[in-house]
Chain A
Amino acid sequence: MPSVNSSKPVITGYGCVTPLGVDVESTWTRIIEGRTARSPISAIEVQGCRVTEGAQAILPEIPSLSKKQLSRLSRSSRLALPAVEGALQMAGLLDSRGTSIYPRIEMSISTTACGMEMGEQFLNSIWQGHGQGQTAKVAHYQAQQQVSEIHRHFRFHGPAMIVANACAGGGNAIGHAADLIRADMADIVLAGGYDALCELVYAGFDSLQTLAPDACRPFDRGRRGLMLGEGAAFMVLESEAHAQKRGATIHARVAGYGQTTDTFHLTQPSQDGKPLEKAMRQALQEASLSPSDIGYVNAHGTGTPFNDGAEAKAFANVFEGHSTRLSSTKSAIGHTLGAAGAIEALICIKALQTGILPPQINLQDPEPLVSEALVKMNERADLNAAMSVNLGFGGSNAALLLTQP
């Protein structure tokens, strides 16, 4: 018999850094105002690319680190550390010195590019004939180094699952954290994702001609591509018993998680949306909820023809005949890759808490299959449950179902 904890894992803290803001509140305020972070990219070299705009974050200050210490961090860590701090702080897990009250906390993290600019600097240094001193930062490229930096900064250790399921990874990381708790393998898990803009990935998406030359328009028939972004989001998941024992405030629950792999094509989802639909139905089944219970879905909605077409079909198949609302916040924040699933789950939590729905901005000619479901400005709803959906290269699909506490 499977060993299962039947209670739904709870969320006791969350934090983020996005191109719309250096924390949750500033990000959320700008999302519901209908703003977009699209601007010319200056953090990395994009000269020669077809598209040179995207969603770039302002790196938050980290007062506890010296300039020298900051210079050693990858851009990914500069995004991740403040997001982790926000999550741990809200969960009441930091002491007066800003360090963890627990010596061991398990982590479940997503990234696609790790600290890629360190790898790029390494190769450039070699090609320019620089010595070993210039190349020593190469170790900071790897994902486990960002984990180490989080460990060192907040003074805790523990197992770290780093999932690299491309753009679905953020959803997988949170879903896996919930799985660990449900399997009675952990009481508390810090879960989330991060990714920073880097040349290789930006030029990669540009080479695929998937970057929108103008505004990113998810679920619009005139959509022309995605807006690449960067960011980080983390949340603290706990078993209900653990959270109650320490008197933590419960902000939401992870009620269900589904994940499937679409083998149709390396970079395109199956156009019938069936594999994604299966992931969404898995999440509903685990939560013992029906489609009519879901008030809002935060879509992957990259703004590419193939993704949004498949996703619209999956949404229509699952939610047809129900009043479920739909939007993609990537037109505001950008596609933050390994962080996307975590940021978008956090947006679902804010929607649950406030009853305000994130609007679908940049919409001119809505995709007919979902046109009635797309969220307009200033919409409100009495939400009990919200779903966050993500797809990734390689066919990874993830669906997270979040509910009220």
Chain B
Amino acid sequence: MRIGILSCGAVTPGGIGVESLDSPWPQKLVESGSRNHSYNASLVDQSLPEITRWGKEPRLRRASPIAYYMTEAASQALSAVPDIDLSRTGVIASFFLGCLVYSVRFYKQMTTEGRRFASPILFPETVFNSPVSHLVSTLGTSGPVYSQVGDKSCWANSLRTAECWMRRGNVDNVLLIGAEEFDPYQLDAFHSAGWMRGKGLVPGEGAGAILLTSKPSDQSVILAGLSDGYCYSSKSEALTAGVECLTAHPRKSKVMPTATGWVQQIESKVVGDRMLSGISHPFYEASTASAVWDTIKAARLINQGLTQDLIVPYWGLSQQFGAARLTAPSFTS
């Protein structure tokens, strides 16, 4: 089955739209929730009208920032192809941390004010599945809907789910979204996990959306291959997992640099001279949102004619690796 990319959308710390992937992104020093640490973070400007406009939608009025980010990104992808059949369009949302801001707020409220005073309005908004429910309700798709969770590599499995739905003939299109929102306690968690050591990484937030189709045009970048489920529980296992993950793709395909933090060393060893030159590593890490942004960047590089065949690795920081191979529409090999 031939699967192609129809359209994309993004909400990033650099702004709104996929063009924001090219603009300089702000970084600012943020104090962690515990106030024990301060680290740089790269955050979305929540006052942008493209984001605040969703507050007028009844379902999104009380929703968490992540729901706004993903609805805006998804809306961009859908509005680029107004003629698609929304009843034949599935939706898959991928999350690493999900509705973190409201989860922390709800738990803090119930532990400080007493369990009986926990907010019944806040609790449903902490559920992983709530943002995509708002999105589907607001944008009007009526195909199957999944929320999937995992580390960054979760995105590779979401692509696999989309392929499965298309192979089964359940849908013609699948709207895939990766989204994350930032909370200062995330800095404490990343610090505890050792992810901020040394070169570290800059936590980010935002959303990306890609609309896949089982009926690609002769202009569509093609999802030519997928590797998923290369797990590790130590750095030495991570090296093996990285090698196996990339071995699933042709040796001659170039690889886009996407690793952040401690995984950069692994990526460097695994990829070697297959790394696409002239592309810098992302400085930020927004997990599933980053995975989508990396995929969009790769598709744009192919559209610009800079390469015809590119592997995009999804280096999960906590459990596993996956990778997608994208090719130009006319590429045959």
* Chain A residues engaging chain B, CB cutoff 8 angstroms: 1-4, 46-50, 104, 106, 111-112, 114, 119-120, 122-124, 126-127, 132, 135-136, 138-139, 142-145, 147-148, 151-152, 157-166, 172, 176, 179-180, 182-185, 199-200, 203-209, 259-261, 263, 266-267, 392-396
For the A-B complex with A1-B169, A123-B185 known, give 16 more contacts whose Cβ atoms are closer than 8 Å.
A2-B169, A4-B168, A48-B114, A124-B111, A138-B193, A139-B189, A145-B319, A157-B231, A158-B231, A160-B320, A162-B157, A180-B164, A185-B163, A200-B103, A206-B118, A395-B133
Verify B148–A185 contact, CB threshold 8 A.
no
A183 to B166, CA, bound (A): 9
Verify B129–A165 contact, CB threshold 8 A.
yes
- For B104-140 the 0/1 string (1 means CB < 8 A from A) is 1011101100111011100111111110111011000
Verify A4–B167 contact, CB threshold 8 A.
yes
Closest Cβ–Cβ distance, residue A191 to chain B (whole Å):
13
Q: List 20 A-B contacts (CB under 8 A).
A: A3-B167, A50-B116, A114-B149, A120-B107, A123-B185, A135-B192, A138-B193, A142-B150, A143-B150, A144-B150, A144-B320, A159-B228, A160-B157, A165-B129, A204-B126, A207-B118, A259-B144, A392-B129, A393-B127, A393-B130
Closest 10 CB pairs of A and B: A2-B169, A159-B229, A394-B133, A164-B128, A394-B129, A204-B123, A48-B115, A263-B137, A183-B167, A144-B319
Please indicate which of the listed interface residues B1, B132, B134, B192 has the most CB atoms of chain A within 10 Å of its own CB: B192
Asked whether A126 and B33 contact (CB < 8 A) given A138-B192, A162-B154, A207-B123, the answer is: yes
Q: Of all chain A residues, which has the CB nearest B62? A: A266
A142 to B106, CA, bound (A): 18
Verify A163–B146 contact, CB threshold 8 A.
yes
Verify A183–B168 contact, CB threshold 8 A.
yes
> How many residues of chain B get a CB closer than 8 Å to chain A's CBs?
70
Verify A203–B115 contact, CB threshold 8 A.
yes
A136 to B106, CA, bound (A): 22
Please indicate which of the listed interface residues B130, B164, B168, B322 has the most CB atoms of chain A within 10 Å of its own CB: B168
Q: Tally inter-chain residue pairs, CB-CB below 8 A.
A: 208
- For B169-195 the 0/1 string (1 means CB < 8 A from A) is 100000000000000010011011100
A262 to B146, CA, bound (A): 13
Closest Cβ–Cβ distance, residue B273 to chain A (whole Å):
27
A131 to B107, CA, bound (A): 20
Closest Cβ–Cβ distance, residue A213 to chain B (whole Å):
14
Verify A147–B147 contact, CB threshold 8 A.
no
- Chain A residues with CB under 8 Å of B111's CB are 123-124, 127
- Chain A residues with CB under 8 Å of B108's CB are 123
Verify A164–B149 contact, CB threshold 8 A.
yes
Verify A157–B167 contact, CB threshold 8 A.
no
B124, B161, B167: the one contacting A393 at CB < 8 Å is: B124
Verify A267–B164 contact, CB threshold 8 A.
no
Closest Cβ–Cβ distance, residue B84 to chain A (whole Å):
18
- Chain A residues with CB under 8 Å of B119's CB are 207
Verify A48–B116 contact, CB threshold 8 A.
yes
* Chain B residues engaging chain A, CB cutoff 8 angstroms: 1, 33-34, 59, 95-96, 98, 103-104, 106-108, 110-111, 114-116, 118-120, 123-130, 132-134, 136-137, 142, 144-151, 154, 156-157, 160-161, 163-169, 185, 188-189, 191-193, 228-231, 233, 316, 318-320, 322
Verify B115–A47 contact, CB threshold 8 A.
yes
Verify A106–B229 contact, CB threshold 8 A.
yes
A120, A132, A148, A152: the one contacting B191 at CB < 8 Å is: A132
Verify A144–B151 contact, CB threshold 8 A.
yes
Q: Of all chain B residues, which has the CB nearest A160? A: B229
Verify B145–A123 contact, CB threshold 8 A.
no
A209 to B119, CA, bound (A): 11
Closest Cβ–Cβ distance, residue A372 to chain B (whole Å):
33
Closest Cβ–Cβ distance, residue B322 to chain A (whole Å):
8
- Chain A residues with CB under 8 Å of B133's CB are 261, 263, 266, 393-396
A39 to B136, CA, bound (A): 39
A396 to B287, CA, bound (A): 25
Closest Cβ–Cβ distance, residue B214 to chain A (whole Å):
9
- Chain B residues with CB under 8 Å of A122's CB are 188-189, 192
Closest Cβ–Cβ distance, residue A282 to chain B (whole Å):
9
Verify A2–B118 contact, CB threshold 8 A.
no
- Chain A residues with CB under 8 Å of B126's CB are 200, 204
Verify A165–B146 contact, CB threshold 8 A.
yes
Verify B106–A200 contact, CB threshold 8 A.
yes
A143 to B124, CA, bound (A): 19
Asked whether A112 and B127 contact (CB < 8 A) given A104-B229, A185-B167, A394-B132, the answer is: yes
Closest Cβ–Cβ distance, residue A288 to chain B (whole Å):
15
- Chain B residues with CB under 8 Å of A139's CB are 189, 192-193, 318
Verify B142–A162 contact, CB threshold 8 A.
no
Q: Of all chain B residues, which has the CB nearest A52? A: B115
Verify B164–A176 contact, CB threshold 8 A.
yes
- Chain B residues with CB under 8 Å of A104's CB are 229
Verify A49–B59 contact, CB threshold 8 A.
no
A165 to B91, CA, bound (A): 12
Verify B150–A160 contact, CB threshold 8 A.
yes
Verify A267–B229 contact, CB threshold 8 A.
no
Verify B185–A396 contact, CB threshold 8 A.
no
Verify B169–A209 contact, CB threshold 8 A.
no
A126 to B36, CA, bound (A): 9
- Chain B residues with CB under 8 Å of A205's CB are 123
Closest Cβ–Cβ distance, residue A27 to chain B (whole Å):
27
Verify B318–A142 contact, CB threshold 8 A.
yes
Closest Cβ–Cβ distance, residue A71 to chain B (whole Å):
17
Closest Cβ–Cβ distance, residue B173 to chain A (whole Å):
14
